Chain A
Amino acid sequence: MFARIVNRRGAMSARLRAPPPTAGRRRAECFCETDASSMTDNTLTVMPTKCATCEVLQQAPLVCADCHSLLAHVQGADYFELFGLTRRYHIDEAELNSKYLAISRNIHPDRFGGAGPEMQSFALRASAAINQAYDVLRDPHRRAEYLLESSGGKSSAEDKRVPPDLLGKVMMLREEIEDARAGGDTAALSTMRATIEKDRRAAQQRISDLCAELTANDSDAIKGELRMQLNAMKYLDNLLAQL
C-alpha cells in the first residue's frame, strides 16, 4: 500500500532523463520562453528566462518578479531550477532562504486574494510545490537524496545496501551504548558520541564528493556508491538519536 513518494520521484526522474542532462538544456514546463542556457562547471542551468507576459528576463522560472504572473507549472519541475540555483550539493543556505522568501512574496495564495478561482488554485499548487522543494533543498541529507533520485538513482527502499563494514560496527556500538547506559558510564557515552560524529562527518564528506562526481559523470557506479553512503548516514543518525 505504500508506494508513496518513491513512485512520484520515479515518474519525475523519467521526465528529467529525456532529454538527458548532457544533451541540451533542461527546463520546466512553462509558459515562458527559455532564452538561453549557460554552462558553469559542467552544470546546466536554464537562466535567465524571459517572461512571456512582459518579456523581462527572470532569474527563476517560476514567477515574474516584474509583472508577477506565474510562469511555470511548477509541479514536477526540478527543485534547483525552481529557485534558480545551480544543480549541485553545495548551496548557500542564506541565498536559498532569501530566494524562497522572494518567490513566496510573489506566489503565496495571500497575494491572490482578489484573483479568480483558477489563479487562486494555481497559486495554491505552486506554493505547495515550492514549499516542498524548499524543505528538500535546505536539508543536506534530503538534498543529496534528491540529487541521486532525480538523476535516476535508486531510492532507499529499492536499494538497501550499506558499506560492508558498517552493519557490524553499528551492532557493536549499539551494544556498547546499552552497556554504558546500564552502567551509567557517561564518559564512555560521550566518547562514543564523538566517534559516531566523526564517522558521520566522513560520510558527509564522501556524499559531498560523490554528488560532485555525479554532476560530472552520470555513472551507475557512482549512483550505487552514493546510495550506500546515504543509507549509512541514516544508520549513524539513528545511533546518534539513541544517545
Chain B
Amino acid sequence: MSTGELILGIDLGTTFSLVAYADARGPQVIRDADGEGRVPSVIAFAPDGKVTIGWEARRHAVENPLHTIYSIKRLMGLGIKDLEKELPYLAYRVVPGQRDVIKIDIDGELLTPQEISALILRELKARAEKHFGRPLRKAVITVPAYFDDAQRQATRDAGKLAGLEVVRIVNEPTAAALAYGIGLREVPKQKLRARSLPIGDKAKCTSESDALGGSQAPPDGSIIAVYDLGGGTFDISILRLTGDVFEVISTYGDTHLGGDDFDRAITLLVQREIHEQYGVDIDSPTTRQALRNFSEQVKIRLSTEASASIELDLGDGRVYRRTITRQEFESLTVALVERTINACQQAISDAKVRPEQIGQIVLVGGSTRIPLVRRRVEEYFGRKPYTALNPDEVVALGAAVQGQVLAGERSDALLLDVTPLSLGIETMGGAMGKLILRNTRIPCQATEMFTTFVDGQSNVKINVLQGERELAADCRSLATFDLSGIPPMPAGIPKIEVQFLIDANGILNVTAREQRSGKEASIQVIPSHGLTKDEIRRIEEESIRFAREDMTAHRMIDLRNQVEFDTHKTEQALAKFGHMLPPEERLSLEESIRVLRKLAKSTDDADKLHRALDEFGKMTLNLANLAITESLREDSAEREKVKS
C-alpha cells in the first residue's frame, strides 16, 4: 500500500540535526556541497532581523551570545522549575511564559522552544527540497527514547510549525537499531556489488577493524543493546530482533545527560582555577559561550590525545595556562559515565535479561567517541561494542527507513516500541495511581472509571501524571483533563469511563464517555508544559509567515547564485568546445542560458527556478561530457610531453 509520497527521516539533535531519505538503494543522508550531512542545531538572530541556522550561526556564537540559541532540545517541553540546573549554563535569556511554559527572550521578542526548533526543522526541510527540487512535507522525527509525553508533543508541534506533517515520532535508539539491523541484512548484497556499506560513513568513524566482526545478520531472537550518548541526552534500549521485527524490551535514560555535561566539567574546572588564581569570575554571556566552545574542543582533543594544553588570555597581562590530561578529564567525568552505566543496569533488569545474553552493543551518538565511555561500556557488558556505524548519522538513517515503512514502500521491518515512563492519575490524597507501567508496549491502553462528589456536578478534572514516584507531586503533570457536560445526577451516580491510549508515537490520547447517558463527555486538555491547539494555530499564523518568507528569500539567493555559476561555466565551455557540438545544439544552449538568466531575475518562485535549473543541467550534459573528455585528453597529452 504505497502512498507514493516521500517521507523524510529527521534526527533533531541537541547539537547536530540531519535529514535523510531512503529509496531502493537504501537510506541516504542529504549533504551539502561539502559532503557535510550535519546541520548544527544553532540559530542566530541578527539585529537586522536576519535568521541564520547551522554552521554560520555556530561560527558567530561567541560574538553574538545573547542572540545565538543552542541546545534548545534540552528545553523542549519543560518548565522553568525543571531547568534550574540548566539555566546557569545558557548564554541566552530564558523567561517564564504562561502556565509552565518557558520562552526564549531575544531582545524582547519571546519565542517558545517549539518555534526555535521549528526553524531548524525548516532548514532541514529546505535542504531536502533543494536536493529533490520539489516541495516535501512529510517526515518522521526522532526523539530520545526517554522523552516524556510533553517533550514528544513539543517536538511534534515544532514539526507542525515548520510546515511538516509529522507522520511518526520515533525513538532515537530504536531508529539506530533499525538502521543497524537493515544494514547488516544488506551487507552481503553490498559486498557483491563491491560498494561501501549503506549505513554510515565507515572511513570517517572507525579505525578499529574488529568492528566488522559482527557484520552478519543477527540470529533470530538475538538481543541487542543500543547505547546512545549524544550532545544532550542519553538513552539505553534493549531490543530483541526476530526476523523483520525490532522489539524493544526495555528502555531507560536521562534527557539531561550528554556531551554538553562533559563540556561543562571542563568549563567548571577552568572557571574555578581562574577564580583561585586571579580572583575573577568569568561568567558573562560572551565568556560562557566562548568557554563552551573551548571546552568542547579540549574534550574532543582528549578523545585522541593523552593531554591538551590550554591557554586563556584574560586581558591585563593575565594568562591562564595549563595542561589537562586525559586522566584528569576522566576523573572529572567518571560520575557522568557511571550514571549511564547505572541506567544500563536498570534497563537490563527491566528487560529481565543478563548482560551476557546481549549479543551486540551498538554505540550511537558523538559522545560515544570518548575513550572512557567505550571502556566502561565494554567492561560492563563484557564485550567489545559495535562501532562500525557512523554514530552521527545512524539515527537519521533509521528514521528514513521508518519513513519508507510508513509510506508503504517497505514491509520487511516493523518497530515495536515501549513507553519509557509510567502513566497515571492523581488520586485523592495526592498519590500517583499508575494506569500504565513503564516499558509497556505501545500502542497501549487503560480504562478508568470516574464519578462525581457533589449532586449535579457537571465537571470532573483529572490530573494526568508521568513518572515512577509514589507521590503525585514528585511526578510530572502532563496535563489537566477537564471533562464537562456530565448530565446532572446525584453525587456518585454518573459513571464516566475515561480511556487513556498511548499511540505509536508514545503520545497520550484521552477519550471519555458517561456510561449511564452514553454521552461522549467533552474534554478540554490543558497541557502543563506545552502549547494548546489554539496557541499553536496562533503561532503558526503569526510567525511562520515571516519565517517562510525569510526562508524562501534565503533559498532564492542560493538558487540565483547557482544560476549565475552554472550559466557562466556553460558559456566558458561553449567558447572552448562549442565548435564540436552540432550547430543547432549550440544555438539552443545559448538560448537556454538567456532564458534561465531572465527567469532568475524575474521570478520569486523558488520551486520553479529550481526546476528550470535542473532542466538546464540536463541540457548541458553533452557539453559537459565533451569538456571532460577533452580536458582529459589535453591532460594526458601534457603528461606525454613532460615524459618525452
Binding site for B on A (CB under 8 A): 1-5, 7-8, 101, 104-105, 108-115, 124-125, 127-129, 131-132, 134-135
* Complex interface: chain A residues within 8 A of B7 (CB): 113
- Known contacts A2-B433, A101-B245, A110-B414: A127-B428 contact under CB 8 Å: no
Q: How many residues of B contact A (CB 8 A)?
A: 40
Decide: A114 near B408, CB < 8 A? Known: A5-B447, A124-B503.
yes
Q: Mark B236-274, 1 if CB is under 8 A from A, else 0.
A: 000000111101000000000000000000000000000
Q: Which of B22-30, B276-284, B438-446, B478-486 contacts A (4 or more CB under 8 A)?
A: B438-446
A129 to B408, CA, bound (A): 23
Q: Provided the pairs A128-B445, A131-B440 are in contact, do residues A109 and B408 lie with their beta carbons within 8 angstroms?
A: no
Q: When the two chains form their complex, are residues A114 and B3 in contact, meaning their CB atoms are under 8 A apart?
A: yes
Distance (whole angstroms) from the CB of B506 to the closest CB of chain A: 12
Do the beta carbons of A104 and B416 come within 8 Å of each other?
Answer: yes
Within 8 A of A (CB), among B357-413: 402, 405-408, 411
Q: A5-B446, A114-B408, A131-B442 are in contact. Are A124 and B3 (CB under 8 A)?
A: no
Partner of B1, one of A1, A7, A114: A114
Per the bound structure, the CA–CA distance linking A134 and B503 in Å amounts to: 17
Q: How far is the CA of A211 from the CA of B441 in the complex (A)?
A: 27
Whether A110 lies near B504 (C-beta < 8 A) is yes
CB <8 Å contact, B449 and A124: no
C-alpha spacing A5/B427, complex, angstroms? 15
Question: Which of A3, A7, A128 contacts B501, CB < 8 Å?
Answer: A128
Contact B504 A109 (CB under 8 A): yes
What are 30 A-B pairs with beta-carbon distances under 8 A? A1-B428, A1-B433, A2-B427, A4-B448, A7-B449, A101-B245, A104-B416, A109-B504, A110-B168, A110-B405, A110-B406, A110-B414, A110-B415, A110-B504, A113-B167, A113-B406, A113-B407, A113-B408, A114-B1, A114-B2, A115-B1, A124-B443, A124-B501, A124-B504, A125-B443, A127-B443, A127-B504, A128-B501, A131-B444, A135-B441
- Known contacts being A108-B504, A113-B406, A127-B504, is A4 close to B449, with CB within 8 Å? yes
With contacts A3-B448, A114-B2 taken as known, whether A109 is within 8 angstroms of B443 at the C-beta atoms is: yes
Q: B481-510: which have CB < 8 Å to A?
A: 501-504
Q: Is B89 part of the binding interface, using a Cβ–Cβ cutoff of 8 Å? A: no
- Nearest CB in chain B: distance from A127 CB, A: 5
Residue-wise interface mask of B (430-442) relative to A, using a CB-CB cutoff of 8 A (1 in contact, 0 not)? 0001010000111
Which residue of A is nearest B170, CB measured? Answer: A110
Q: Is the CB of A3 within 8 A of B449?
A: yes
Query: Can you name the residue of chain B whose Cβ is closest to the Cβ of A6?
Result: B449
- In Å, the complex CA distance between A124 and B503 comes to 7
Q: How far is the CA of A124 from the CA of B504 in the complex (A)?
A: 8
A145 CB to closest chain B CB (Å) equals 16
Complex contact B450–A1 (CB within 8 A): yes
Chain A residues, Cβ within 8 Å of B1: 112-115
Q: Which residue of A lies closest to B427 (CB)?
A: A1
When chains A and B are docked, how far (Å) is the Cα of A131 from the Cα of B439? Answer: 12
Query: With A and B bound together, what is the CA distance between A111 and B501 in angstroms?
Result: 19
Q: How far is the CA of A109 from the CA of B242 in the complex (A)?
A: 19
Q: CB distance B503 to A109 under 8 Å?
A: yes
A residues less than 8 Å from B441 (CB atoms): 131, 134-135
In the complex, which residues of chain A have a beta carbon less than 8 angstroms from the beta carbon of B450?
Answer: 1
**Nearest CB of B to A211, in Å:** 24
The answer on a CB contact under 8 Å between B168 and A105 is no
Closest to B509 in A: A124
Instruction: Report B68-108 CB contacts with A as 1/0, cut-off 8 Å.
Output: 00000000000000000000000000000000000000000
**One of B168, B242, B435, B447 near A101 (C-beta < 8 A):** B242
